[in-house]
C-alpha cells in the first residue's frame, strides 16, 4: 500500500491521567477511521504526559493490559503510532510503538531515568506502507541514528515532546524550535526519506511544548505543518512512489 | 521578542484556564515588571479578565501610583485601589519610631501579598507574578511577599530582557526608563541596594548560567573579580528563598524528595 491517508494529531495530554488520555486517544482513532485514515500518529507521551516525577506507577501500561488489546484491535482498521510508559523488572521505559493489523509491529524503547530517557538502539521495520523508522527527539541528537541502516527507508516517524528553551541574550530566538526543525530536515536528507514529526502542545510545570508538527518530503522540505501551541490535526494523502502529498481539508 | 511573547502568552492562558479560572490578578506597582505582566495577561486572557490591584503605602512615591494608573488606563483593565497604610500600622510594632526599614518593607510586601490573594479569591482568578530572573537569582525579593504568586511568566527573563520585552509590548517609555525601585522607602533603588547595575549583573548572570562559564573565566574576560564573586556569593546566600521549606527526612518517601509530584498533575 504505497498510497495512503496519514493523520497527525497534535494534542495536549492530561498529565498523569492515563485513563482519560486513553479515552481521548480512542476517540481520535475512531474519528480517524471514520475519516478514512490509514495511519494515525500521536505525539510522544500522549498517553501519560511528560513531567512525570513520582507519577510513573500512575501512568504505566502493562503489556498484558486491556488497553493494549483495545489498541491492537483498532489497529486492524488503522495503523497507529503511540507512545506509552512501560516497566520491565525495576526499569521504566518511555516507549513508542507501531501497531498494525492487530499486532504490535515494533516498540522503540528508551530507558527512563530521573532526568532523561536514554534511547536503545533500534532498527527500521517493514509495514504495509513500506520501510519505517521510529525515532523520538532524543534519537535525533544521538550519533548512532545517522550511521544506522543501509536499508532504504520510506518513512521516518518522530513522535515528539519537545519544549521551548534556549532563549538568546537579546530574547530574539528560542533555539529548540529551530533545532527540532533542522534535525528533522537533516534526517530526511540523510535517509532521503519522508519525515513525519508529531510534536505535542500544552504546558506542564512551566515546560511549553510548542507543537509545529510537520511532514517533510525526502529532500527535507516542509510540505505541511500545524500551528504552534494549539491542538490540531491534519490529514494528508501520501504517495510514496511518486513522493507526492496533498492535504485534505478537515 | 515575538517568540518569547508567544510562549509567555500561551503559558498564561494555559496555566490559568486549565485550573478552571478565567481571570488574572496583578499587583500593579507602577514598575516595568508588573506592567509587562499586565500587558501579557491582557493578551492571554482578554481585557475583561484582568484585574490590576494598586496598593500604595502612605510613604510611597506618588509617581508609582500614577504609573500604575497609566498602565491600567492604557490597557483598559479593571482596577482596585487599596491603601495598605492602615493595615500596616494596625500592627503596633510598625508604629514605633525608628522601626527598621527592612522589617517595615518586608511587612508591607507581605500585606500586599495577603491583599492580592484575598482579591484572587473574591474575583475567582489567579495571582500572576511579576518577578524576573535577575531579582530571583539575587534574592532581591521578600519571601512570601512580592515573590508569592500562582504563576510567574517573567521568572525566566533577566531584567534587561524584561526591558526589551516592555518596549516590544508598548509599555510607556517613562515606566521603562525610570530607575527600578521596590519603593518600600523614600529614595530606594534596586541598583543602589544591590550594589551593581542591572546591565552588568545580567551580563554576569547570563555568562554564568546560560553560557556556563566559571567565575574565573569571567574575570579573565575582563569582569571585576569583586563584582563577580559578590554576585556568586549573593546567589548562594539567598538560595533558601528559591526553594520550598526544608523537611527533616525520617520516612522512606519524603515530600519533595522521593515524593515529587508535578504541580500540573491532572491538568
Predicted local confidence at residue B191, as pLDDT:
83
Residues of B in contact with A202 (CB under 8 A): 14
pLDDT in tens, B72-103: 999 999 999 999 999 999 998 887 777 888 99
Choose the closest CB to B1 out of A51, A171, A204.
A171
CB pairs under 8 A between A and B: 73
Last residue of some domain: B189, B207, B234? B189
Q: How far is CA B21 from CA A11, B24, B77, B124, in A?
A: 21, 8, 17, 7
**Domain hosting residue A140, numbered range:** 3-248
Domain count, chain B: 2
Taking the C-alpha atoms of A175, A179, A180 and A184 in order, what is their torsion angle to the nearest 10 degrees? 170
**Same domain (yes/no): B175, B202:** no
DSSP string computed for A165-190: --B-TTS--BHHHHHHHHHHHHHHHH
Mean pLDDT taken over chain A: 91
Q: Does a structural domain hold residue B256?
A: no
* Pairwise CB contact (< 8 Å): B165 & A171: yes
Per-residue pLDDT of chain B (267 residues; tens, 9 = 90+): 999 999 999 999 999 999 999 999 999 999 999 999 999 999 999 999 999 999 999 989 999 999 999 999 999 999 999 999 999 999 988 877 778 889 999 999 999 999 999 999 999 999 999 999 999 999 999 999 999 999 999 999 999 999 999 999 999 999 999 988 888 888 888 888 888 899 999 999 999 999 999 999 999 999 999 999 999 999 999 999 999 999 999 999 999 999 999 999 999
Candidates A17, A48, A54, partner chain B, best to mutate (most B CBs within 10 A)? A54
Candidates A10, A21, A48, A169, partner chain B, best to mutate (most B CBs within 10 A)? A169
ipTM for the predicted complex comes to 0.91
Q: Does a structural domain hold residue B238?
A: yes
* Pairwise CB contact (< 8 Å): A15 & B261: no
**Same domain (yes/no): B109, B200:** no
Q: What is the CATH number of the domain that holds A97?
A: 3.60.110.10
**Same domain (yes/no): B50, B135:** yes
Burial class (CB in 10 A: 0-12, 13-18, 19+), A34: exposed
Q: Does a structural domain hold residue B260?
A: no
Q: Measure A10 CA to nearest chain B CA, in Å.
A: 16
Q: Which of B243, B34, B30 is nearest to B139 (CA)?
A: B243
pLDDT in tens, A6-17: 999 999 999 999
Q: Does a structural domain hold residue B247?
A: no
Q: Which are the contacts of A117, defined by CB distance < 8 A and separation ≥ 6?
A: A93, A94, A110, A111, A136, A138
Residues of A in contact with B244 (CB under 8 A): none
* Distance separating the N- and C-terminal Cα atoms of chain A: 23
Q: With a threshold of 0.90, does the pTM exceed it?
A: yes
Place of cell 493595615: B87
Q: Does a structural domain hold residue B133?
A: yes
Quick one: chain A helix, strand, coil %, rounded to 5? Answer: 25, 40, 40
* Pairwise CB contact (< 8 Å): B265 & A206: no
Question: What gap in Å lies between CA B230 and CA B215, rounded to an integer?
Answer: 10
Predicted local confidence at residue A119, as pLDDT:
66
Residues of A in contact with B259 (CB under 8 A): 54
Choose the closest CB to A54 out of B6, B157, B259.
B259
Question: What gap in Å lies between CA B32 and CA B155, rounded to an integer?
Answer: 14
**Domain hosting residue B30, numbered range:** 2-189
Predicted local confidence at residue A146, as pLDDT:
67
Q: Does A11 touch chain B (CB under 8 A)?
A: no
Q: What is the CATH number of the domain that holds B77?
A: 3.40.50.620
Amino acid at each position: 500500500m504505497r498510497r495512503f491517508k496519514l493523520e497527525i494529531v497534535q494534542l495536549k495530554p492530561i498529565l498523569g491521567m492515563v485513563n482519560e488520555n486513553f479515552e481521548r486517544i480512542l476517540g481520535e482513532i475512531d474519528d480517524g477511521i471514520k475519516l478514512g485514515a490509514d495511519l494515525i500518529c500521536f505525539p510522544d507521551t500522549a498517553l501519560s504526559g511528560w513531567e512525570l516525577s513520582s507519577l510513573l506507577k500512575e501512568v504505566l501500561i502493562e503489556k498484558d493490559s486491556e488497553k493494549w488489546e483495545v489498541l491492537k484491535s483498532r489497529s486492524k482498521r488503522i495503523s497507529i503510532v503511540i507512545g506509552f510508559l512501560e516497566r520491565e523488572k525495576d526499569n521504566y521505559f518511555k516507549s513508542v510503538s507501531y501497531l498494525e493489523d492487530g499486532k504490535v509491529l515494533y516498540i522503540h524503547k528508551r530507558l527512563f531515568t530521573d532526568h532523561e530517557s536514554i534511547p536503545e538502539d533500534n532498527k527500521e521495520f517493514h509495514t504495509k506502507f513500506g520501510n519505517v523508522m521510529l525515532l523520538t527527539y532524543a534519537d535525533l541528537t544521538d550519533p548512532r541514528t545517522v550511521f544506522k541502516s543501509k536499508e532504504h527507508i520510506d518513512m521516518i516517524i518522530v513522535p515528539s515532546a519537545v519544549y521551548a528553551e534556549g532563549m538568546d541574550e537579546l530574547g530574539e530566538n528560542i533555539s529548540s524550535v529551530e533545532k527540532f526543525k533542522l534535525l528533522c530536515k537533516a534526517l530526511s536528507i540523510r535517509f532521503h526519506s519522508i519525515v513525519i514529526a508529531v510534536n505535542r502542545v500544552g504546558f506542564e510545570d512551566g515546560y511549553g511544548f510548542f507543537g509545529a508538527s510537520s511532514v517533510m518530503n525526502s529532500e527535507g522540505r516542509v510540505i505541511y505543518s500545524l500551528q504552534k501551541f494549539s491542538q490540531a490535526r491534519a490529514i494528508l494523502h501520501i504517495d510514496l512512489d511518486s513522493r507526492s502529498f496533498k492535504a485534505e481539508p478537515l | 521578542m515575538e517568540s518569547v511573547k508567544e510562549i509567555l502568552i500561551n503559558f498564561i492562558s494555559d496555566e490559568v484556564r486549565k485550573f478552571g479560572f478565567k481571570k488574572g490578578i496583578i499587583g500593579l506597582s507602577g514598575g516595568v515588571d508588573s506592567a509587562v505582566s499586565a500587558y501579557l495577561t491582557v493578551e492571554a486572557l482578554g481585557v475583561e479578565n484582568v484585574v490590576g490591584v494598586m496598593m500604595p503605602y502612605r510613604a510611597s512615591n506618588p509617581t508609582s501610583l500614577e504609573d500604575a494608573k497609566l498602565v491600567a488606563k492604557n490597557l483598559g483593565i479593571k482596577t482596585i485601589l487599596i491603601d495598605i497604610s492602615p493595615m500596616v500600622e494596625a500592627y503596633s510594632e510598625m508604629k514605633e519610631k525608628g522601626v527598621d526599614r527592612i522589617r517595615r518593607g518586608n511587612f508591607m510586601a507581605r500585606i500586599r501579598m495577603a491583599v492580592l490573594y484575598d482579591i484572587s479569591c473574591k474575583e475567582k482568578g489567579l495571582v500572576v507574578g511579576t518577578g524576573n530572573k535577575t531579582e530571583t537569582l539575587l534574592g532581591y525579593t521578600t519571601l512570601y511577599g512580592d515573590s508569592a504568586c500562582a504563576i510567574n511568566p517573567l521568572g525566566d527573563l533577566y531584567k534587561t530582557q524584561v526591558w526589551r520585552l516592555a518596549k516590544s509590548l508598548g509599555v510607556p517609555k517613562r515606566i521603562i526608563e525610570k530607575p527600578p525601585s521596590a519603593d518600600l522607602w523614600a529614595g530606594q533603588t534596586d541598583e543602589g541596594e544591590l550594589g551593581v547595575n542591572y546591565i552588568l549583573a545580567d551580563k554576569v548572570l547570563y555568562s554564568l548560567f546560560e553560557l556556563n562559564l566559571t567565575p574565573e573565566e569571567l574575570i579573565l574576560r575582563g569582569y571585576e573579580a569583586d563584582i563577580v564573586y559578590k554576585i556568586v556569593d549573593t546567589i548562594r546566600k539567598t538560595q533558601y528563598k528559591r526553594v520550598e521549606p526544608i523537611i527533616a527526612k525520617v520516612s522512606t518517601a519524603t515530600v519533595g524528595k522521593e515524593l515529587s509530584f508535578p504541580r500540573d498533575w491532572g491538568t
